[in-house]
Structure formats: C-alpha cells, structure tokens
Chains A and B, each alone.
Chain A
Amino acid sequence: MIRFESVTITYPDAERPVLRDVDLAIPEGELVLVIGRTGAGKSTLLKAVNGLVPHFTGGTLTGRVSVDGRDTRTHPPRELADVVGYVGQDPLAGFVTDTVEEELAYAMESLGVSPAVMRRRVEDILDSLGLTPFRDRSLATLSAGQQQRVAIGSVMTAGARVLVLDEPTSALDPPAAEDVLAALTRLVHDLGITVVAAEHRLERVIHYADRVLQVGDDGRVRDSTPNVAMHDSPVAPPVVELGRLVRWQPLPLSVRDARRAASTLRDQLSSMARPGGTPTRTGESVVSVRALEARYDDVVALRRIDLDVRPGEIVALMGRNGAGKSTLLAHLVGLNKPHAGQVRVAGHDPFRRSSAELNRDVALVPQEPADLFYTDTVAGEIAADGTGDRARFLLDRLAPGIDGTTHPRDLSEGQRLALALAIVMAAEPPVLLLDEPTRGLDYPGKARLVDLLRDLATAGTAVILATHDVELAAEVSNRTVVLADGEVVADGPTRDVVTASPAFAPQIAKILAPLPWLTVAQVRASLAASAS
C-alpha cells in the first residue's frame, strides 16, 4: 500500500538529512507504529506519506514515495486526499468548519462525492466512531478525545485507505485515549484500513501494533515486529522495562501478557520488604487553599477546594480533561481571581501580588511552554530576567547542548519545556507548578525531568504537576490529588491513590497487584537488595 524506495529527506539549511535511505513496504491493513526520540524525524516520515513533505514544508526528497501506486512527486497532498487521511498533532488546528457533521463532509465535498453517497458515509462514520450524539455540536465545545475522533472520522469519510496520525493520544486523559484507540483498532480490523501512527506514550499503543518503525537519531529507519523492536529500543514502556529486567521470553508487550508471566516474580517480591514510601513531610505549608470556588460565567469550575502543600512535596494533580486542573493552577499563580475562598502561596495572596513579587513566590510552566518566550534566541531568553547563570545551569542539566543562538520556536517540544523550566526556576521560587509537562517528551527526556524535580524537592521546593501521565505520577510524586468535576475526590500518598483506581494505576502496579510496587525502579531496587 505504502512504498518508500531509498528515500532521503533534507530540510533547507540542515546539515544532514532528517531521514536517510529509507526503504519500506507497508501492506494493506497493518497498524504501524512509528517510534523514536523527540525530534528524530517521526513527523517528517508521517508527512512524507501523503506528500505534505516536501510539497508543504519545503526541503528536498530523493528517492520515491508512493501510496496505492501514486507517486507523491506528481501527486500533491490534495490529489492523494481520497487515499491517505492525515491527522495532525492538534486536531482543533486542522478543523475547517464549525460543526461535527460539516467537518465530516468537508473532504468529500472537495472530492466531489455525490450528495447521496456523502450522506450515507457520514452516517456510517458517525456510528462507527460513536459520534452520533454530537452530530450537531460545535467543534470547539467538544472534549479533546471527541475532537480527535472527529478528526479521524473527517479523513475516513473521504474513503481513505491509509490513516496517518501524529501523536493521536498524547493530549488525552487515559479513558479518552482508550476510546480513540478502540476506534482505531475497529477500523483496522473491520475495514482493513492501514494505520501509521507516531506516539510517545508507548504503554498505550505498543500492544496494538503489528509492526514498529524505529526512527534513529541518524535518520535511518528500522522496520521490525514490536517484540524485536522492544528488545533494545531506547524508548520503551514500563511493561517492557520490567520484562527486560526480569529477562522474560518472549518479551510481554501488554499488561495481560506480563501479568501471566509475572506469577513467580510476584511470589518472589511478596516475601521482600515493601518499597519504602517517601516520608510524610512536615512543616509550614507553602501552598494553602481554603474553600476555593472558581467560576467561568455561570459554569462552576472548582467547588470548595482545600489543599495544603508542604516544602519538598511533589504532588501529582490528576483528573479528566476539563476537571479543573489548569484552573486550580491558574489560581495558584494569581491569573484568576477566586470567586470565593482563600489562596495563599508562600504566605501571600497571589492575585494581589505584583508580577515581579509573584515571580519570587511561584513559577508555572504552562501547557504551551513557548508562550513564555518573547525574544528570538535561546541566549536572549536566558539573559532576559537577570538570573542568566542559574538559568543556563538548569538548562544544561535538563537538555544539554542547546545552541544559544537557536530560535526558541525551532526547539523540539522537549527542549522548549526545558528552556521554560530553566527560565521560571532561575529565581528559585519555593513553589513550582507544571501543567501537563510530558506532552511530546520521550522517555529519556522524562527521566531527566524526574531527576530534576526530585532534586528540587530535596532542596525544599514544593512541586505540583497537573498530568495525565500515570507513569510519571507514579515515578516522581509522593502524593496524588484527583479532581473530578471541580471537586477533590481523592487526596493521599500516590501509592494508595493510584492503586485504588484502574484508570490511574501505572502498568507495574497492574502487573504486580495487589503488591504495592509502582515502578520498574522500585522493583529493580528490591531485587538488587535481595540479591546482595
């Protein structure tokens, strides 16, 4: 269905090609997963499938890419629209119309499909993606998971046989991600659609994949089965890490397989000392929220929230999209005025602090780290606040080797996060807030973030991170707060909270339940301790 013949892609002004000598043949009906480090060229590979690279992005492509026999050299993306459907990272940015039904019909209108056929296909797709209840809704009012499903549907209606998806579940909470993946697998199994998807969150998708394309840092692509790829891939989900640690053969990819293989491990661990929970912190709380209520017009976003965070605590703030996580963070940095109740951060009301004072009390890395940047070089950003030395030190620690003359917008997602974090933490505020920090971060990048957050906490910084990433929460936080519909529904040690609900349980906890090990690192430590 898709053929790459010795394809090399080089962007203008780049020293070396993003992709080098790629030879691929993807048959019909496969679910192909594209993995690789941040910035390795996964998106380039995806966009080359329907010709967006190089027709839209510039750069030179040597070799030949063809889909269903059509060469992308002679067929620009619009001439491939009836074969290949492409869904970008942010579905909302790619929507052309207002409402669900019109969006689903848009591509067919461009292709000149007859009205009767259009009508039938829209109804089919509404059913198969579970969108019927929202057919008249405005796209902006849908949740992120629903938007992703509409985006997938809108390319499916055009009759696409190939579906190309860039990070389809990265921005979604676990249940919404499950919905999208269920829809995708149904398309693959029922209709024989070929799916090519890039995804950082391997723990969510690896067990659905038929094969894996690994994009190396040198631009070469390795084509293998998931089992083979996971043996030595630098990016791997916790279940694979555990399998490698215990040397399971064959390597399990899903929680189910791992759980079946884990009975001896569970026996072994049950006789060992439980992993030490982090000691409860004492001391004056540095963040104190009392009966906080927040509203947008007449919609209540937060109801009577109480929260105390002490120095050195790392609190994971979890909950569905729209549960009020970002709203709570906005109140902690004084961006929103409380409707009722009281907020104290480092002893002050953040809403009444001036911008300069606030900067010494609390730091927030927003969902879009790039919003913080306003100069045109990395060095300029670092120097802008007068705390350049400290910022440079933090940046080198998080993402070593960033050239000071680079434009902040040319950085990869992970590098942007590192720069934003370095800038806001340079003033050494006692409280650090992060909003969804792992979007677009690969496993090594995540590991560096975890190390830095631990160091900051040891030095007495209170950290609150809003996240969907249960693995990160299990790894780094010692306390978890779950919000639902604007209320705190759970607040306690991470170990107790995440094991109590399957939606928030990390993979290791699911494999080893009812034992209280949450991460591969904990298992490794326990095994090492018993061996010595």
Chain B
Amino acid sequence: MSSRERTNRQLHPGAWWAWSLALGATATRTTNPLVLLLLMAAAGFTVSARRSPVGTRSFGFFVRLGLFVLAFRLVFETVFGAERSGNVLVHLPEVPLPTWAGGLHLGGAVTAQGMLAATYGGLQLAALLVCVGSANALASPRRLLRAVPGALYEAGVAVTVAMSFAPQLVTAAVRVRRARRLRGRSATGVRSWVGIALPVLEDALERSIELAAAMDARGFGRRGTASPGRRRLVAGSVVTGLVAVAVATYELLDATSPTIVGLPLLVSGTAIACAAVFFGGRDVARTKYRPDQWQAVEWLVVVAGLAPLAGVMLAGRLQPGSLHPTTYPLAVPALPWPAVLGIVLALIPAWFGTPQLPAAQAIAVRPARVAEPAKVGR
C-alpha cells in the first residue's frame, strides 16, 4: 500500500485549493446556467477521479447544501416573487401588505421569468458551494494548514484545534443524549437538547484542555529567537497585507467596480504579506516533516484552474451578454465557446493527479467510526 504512495507523490494541497477557488471565482462572474452546470460537472468529475472515500463524503455534503440553496431560492421566489410581469405560470392567493413593507409581495402571480432568474441565481450560489466542497475533498484543510508558513503557525494551530472541537462537540452530544435515555428521560424534542448543553460543553472543554496540555508537553510554543516587538511587527504586517489582498480580490471579482484600484492593491498587499511571512519565518525554530513539495505539476494544476476564469473573461469581451442570459424576454442561453474551452482545460488535473488514497486503504477506512460512541467496544 505505501509503496504506491511513495512513488506517486501527493500534490501540494495549496495547488488543489487554488484550482478549486479559481473555479469558484469563475462561477461568481456568470449566471449562465450552462456554464455553471459545466463548472459543477468539472469539479465533481475531478473529485470522483481522485477517489478518496473521506473526501467524496464531504463533497456529497456540499452538493446537498447547494441543492438546498437552489430549492430555497425557488421557494422564496414563489412566495415573495418580485418579478410580476411576464408569462404567468400560476396564481397564488395574494396577501396585501402595508406600504411600509417596502413593496414586498406575498403570494400573487408566479412568472416563468421570475422563476428562471431565481434558478440562475441559485445555480450560481450552488456552483460556488460545489467548488468550495471540491477544495475540501481534494486536499483536507488540515493538510493545507501544514503548509502554512512558520510566521502564521500559531494561527494555523488555532484553526486546527477549532476544527477538531466541532466534531468532538457532536460526538459528545450524541453520547450524552443516548445516556439521557438510560435515565428515563425523553431523548426527543427541544427540551432534551437544552438539558444536555451544560454536560456537553463541559466535556468538550475538558477535552480541549487535555489537548492543550498534550501539545504543551510535546514542545508546542517553545520560545523562538525573535523579540516580542519584532514578532508583533511581523504579525501586524501579515494581517495588513492579507486585508489588502482581501479587499483587492473583492474589487477584482465584483465586475461592476473599476479594476484599476484592485490590481495595485492586490500586488502591494501580497508583497507586504509575503515579506512579513518570509522574515517572520526565519525567527521560528520549527521544522517541517516531509513538507509537501511545489513542483511543475502544481503550477500546471493552478494554471488549469485559472483557465475557465480566463475563458469567462474572454467570453465577456467577445460575446457580451452571453455570461448573463436575459430572462426578459425568455431566451435559450447561449453557450460561449471560450468558457467551454477553459472548463475543458480545467479537467486536465483529473488525469495526472494521483489518487489521494490507494484502493487498499479506501477499504480500511471505516465510515463514521468516531461519531458512533456505542460501538467502540473498549
């Protein structure tokens, strides 16, 4: 089992996250349902091609969440539909609302135009969720955190611990609820949850303290060589740089704002953050065990992820309007060829990316072992 894993190196988690997030960024720039469906198909295909049992399960969760968002959007449109003119599909009884409700409708006519627009909007959100889900499935966030540079290490640990806290809370809640039934208390209804809140929180807190003690006993947080002032300077610069990057990304992705502000901000923010991380990292005495390597393949994955984004931008230039198909009047959305080409290119990593887990281990990993306390026969 391990021999295969040794020869076939796992790709750097950062590459997969960049790939998935670039796909997500593409989804934010279009409401064309055909492009969005193709994007989701590409993400799903890549996840299934890399067959990791754990990843596939978490991907399923994101897909279901996306479907829920879409359904929610449609129900919302039916009840509070804003689009009143057009081809009426069905007439619902209308409840008149006072004028201070700000023109909000309740019921009334449901139009094909309104439903279609809601579908497009819902699909966009769903595609975004599916892309985030694929990032999760392709490389676990924990592996990504291992790649965090030394200067950000403490923050990374905080996130790791927080991520382990939530599942522990769920496990404890299930266990305590089952125990309540043993004492003749009902284990259904809202009140049963209120009663267990305290013991569950106590339990989770105790476990966190135990984890903290274990980490301390194993050398976490040993004094580095840097002075406190210098450490604070590094942390401050990292945060400033990252905020700048976030603002710039928003500017760039929001198609309505002028890109002239975004680009310089992105460059300078990245520069500040990178410099701080580089200089901060030199003070930290930590080392990394078998760090994930960033080689040509990783660059290829990132470029493949950026291809659909480029395709959509090109489509915006060449075929204006194809990215946001009109629903009034009703029209069959066109399929812009540059976007399709980009999505096809994004599929390349599905073939050369090695499977995350060899088949032998895929069987060995039992599903949901931790969440079922009663069967762990200690």
The dominant DSSP class at the A interface is mixed
State A55–B5 Cα separation when bound (angstroms).
Answer: 42
A78–B198 CB distance below 8 A: no
Residues in A whose Cβ lies below 8 Å from that of B94: none
Residues in B whose Cβ lies below 8 Å from that of A102: 146, 289
State A96–B291 Cα separation when bound (angstroms).
Answer: 17
Indicate which residue in A367, A368, A374 contacts B180 across the interface (CB closer than 8 Å).
Answer: A374
Q: Answer yes or no: B368 CB below 8 A from chain A CBs.
A: yes
Contact with B along A310-352 (1 / 0, CB 8 A): 0000000001111111110110011110000000000000000
Q: Answer yes or no: B254 CB below 8 A from chain A CBs.
A: no
Q: Answer yes or no: A436 CB below 8 A from chain B CBs.
A: yes
Question: Taking the nearest CB of chain A, how far is it from the CB of B216, in angstroms?
Answer: 5
With both beta carbons as reference points, the residue of chain A lying nearest to B220 in the complex is identified as: A110
B184–A427 CB distance below 8 A: yes
Given contacts A98-B140, A118-B289, A301-B375, contact A333 B182 (CB under 8 A): yes
Within 8 A of A (CB), among B40-82: 54
Within 8 A of B (CB), among A233-265: none
Q: Answer yes or no: A114 CB below 8 A from chain B CBs.
A: yes
Question: Taking the nearest CB of chain B, how far is it from the CB of A351, in angstroms?
Answer: 11
Residues in B whose Cβ lies below 8 Å from that of A90: 210
Contact with A along B177-221 (1 / 0, CB 8 A): 011111111110000000110110011001100111111111111
State A114–B179 Cα separation when bound (angstroms).
Answer: 48
Q: Answer yes or no: A501 CB below 8 A from chain B CBs.
A: no
Q: Answer yes or no: A167 CB below 8 A from chain B CBs.
A: no
Chain B interface size, under 10 / 10 to 19 / 20 to 34 / 35 or more: 35 or more
B289–A115 CB distance below 8 A: yes
Residues in B whose Cβ lies below 8 Å from that of A427: 184
Residues in B whose Cβ lies below 8 Å from that of A532: none
State A373–B198 Cα separation when bound (angstroms).
Answer: 10
Indicate which residue in A52, A324, A326, A359 contacts B216 across the interface (CB closer than 8 Å).
Answer: A52
Within 8 A of B (CB), among A100-148: 101-102, 105-115, 118-119, 122, 135-138, 140-141, 144
Q: Answer yes or no: B290 CB below 8 A from chain A CBs.
A: yes
Q: Answer yes or no: B317 CB below 8 A from chain A CBs.
A: no
Given contacts A78-B221, A111-B222, A374-B195, contact A358 B181 (CB under 8 A): yes
Given contacts A77-B217, A141-B364, contact A323 B222 (CB under 8 A): no
Chain A interface size, under 10 / 10 to 19 / 20 to 34 / 35 or more: 35 or more
B289–A335 CB distance below 8 A: no
Question: Taking the nearest CB of chain B, how far is it from the CB of A117, in angstroms?
Answer: 9
Residues in A whose Cβ lies below 8 Å from that of B175: 366, 368, 371
B378–A171 CB distance below 8 A: yes
Question: Taking the nearest CB of chain A, how far is it from the CB of B217, in angstroms?
Answer: 4
A110–B222 CB distance below 8 A: yes
State A84–B213 Cα separation when bound (angstroms).
Answer: 14
A355–B185 CB distance below 8 A: yes
Q: Answer yes or no: B84 CB below 8 A from chain A CBs.
A: no
A436–B378 CB distance below 8 A: yes
The total of interchain contacts (Cβ-Cβ below 8 angstroms) comes to 208
Indicate which residue in A108, A136, A355 contacts B287 across the interface (CB closer than 8 Å).
Answer: A108
Question: Taking the nearest CB of chain B, how far is it from the CB of A164, in angstroms?
Answer: 9
With both beta carbons as reference points, the residue of chain A lying nearest to B208 in the complex is identified as: A93
State A11–B196 Cα separation when bound (angstroms).
Answer: 29
Indicate which residue in B184, B289, B378 contacts A122 across the interface (CB closer than 8 Å).
Answer: B289
State A122–B140 Cα separation when bound (angstroms).
Answer: 23
State A50–B218 Cα separation when bound (angstroms).
Answer: 10
Indicate which residue in A96, A98, A137, A374 contacts B214 across the interface (CB closer than 8 Å).
Answer: A96
Q: Answer yes or no: A97 CB below 8 A from chain B CBs.
A: yes
A109–B289 CB distance below 8 A: yes
Q: Answer yes or no: A398 CB below 8 A from chain B CBs.
A: no
B184–A356 CB distance below 8 A: yes
Residues in B whose Cβ lies below 8 Å from that of A324: 375, 377
B287–A112 CB distance below 8 A: yes
State A76–B1 Cα separation when bound (angstroms).
Answer: 41
Question: Taking the nearest CB of chain A, how far is it from the CB of B197, in angstroms?
Answer: 10
State A142–B271 Cα separation when bound (angstroms).
Answer: 44
Q: Answer yes or no: A79 CB below 8 A from chain B CBs.
A: yes
Q: Answer yes or no: A281 CB below 8 A from chain B CBs.
A: no
State A330–B175 Cα separation when bound (angstroms).
Answer: 12
Q: Answer yes or no: A35 CB below 8 A from chain B CBs.
A: no
B287–A115 CB distance below 8 A: yes
Q: Answer yes or no: A385 CB below 8 A from chain B CBs.
A: yes
27 A-B pairs within 8 Å (CB atoms) are namely A50-B217, A77-B216, A78-B217, A78-B219, A78-B222, A96-B215, A96-B218, A101-B289, A107-B218, A108-B289, A114-B287, A119-B289, A136-B1, A136-B5, A297-B368, A321-B376, A322-B375, A323-B377, A327-B377, A330-B374, A333-B182, A354-B186, A355-B185, A358-B181, A372-B183, A427-B184, A436-B378
Question: Residues of B with Cβ closer than 8 Å to A?
Answer: 1-2, 5, 54, 140, 142, 146, 160, 175-176, 178-187, 195-196, 198-199, 202-203, 206-207, 210-223, 285-291, 361, 364-370, 372, 374-378
* CB-based closest 7 A-B pairs: A81-B219, A359-B184, A94-B214, A105-B289, A110-B219, A371-B179, A112-B285
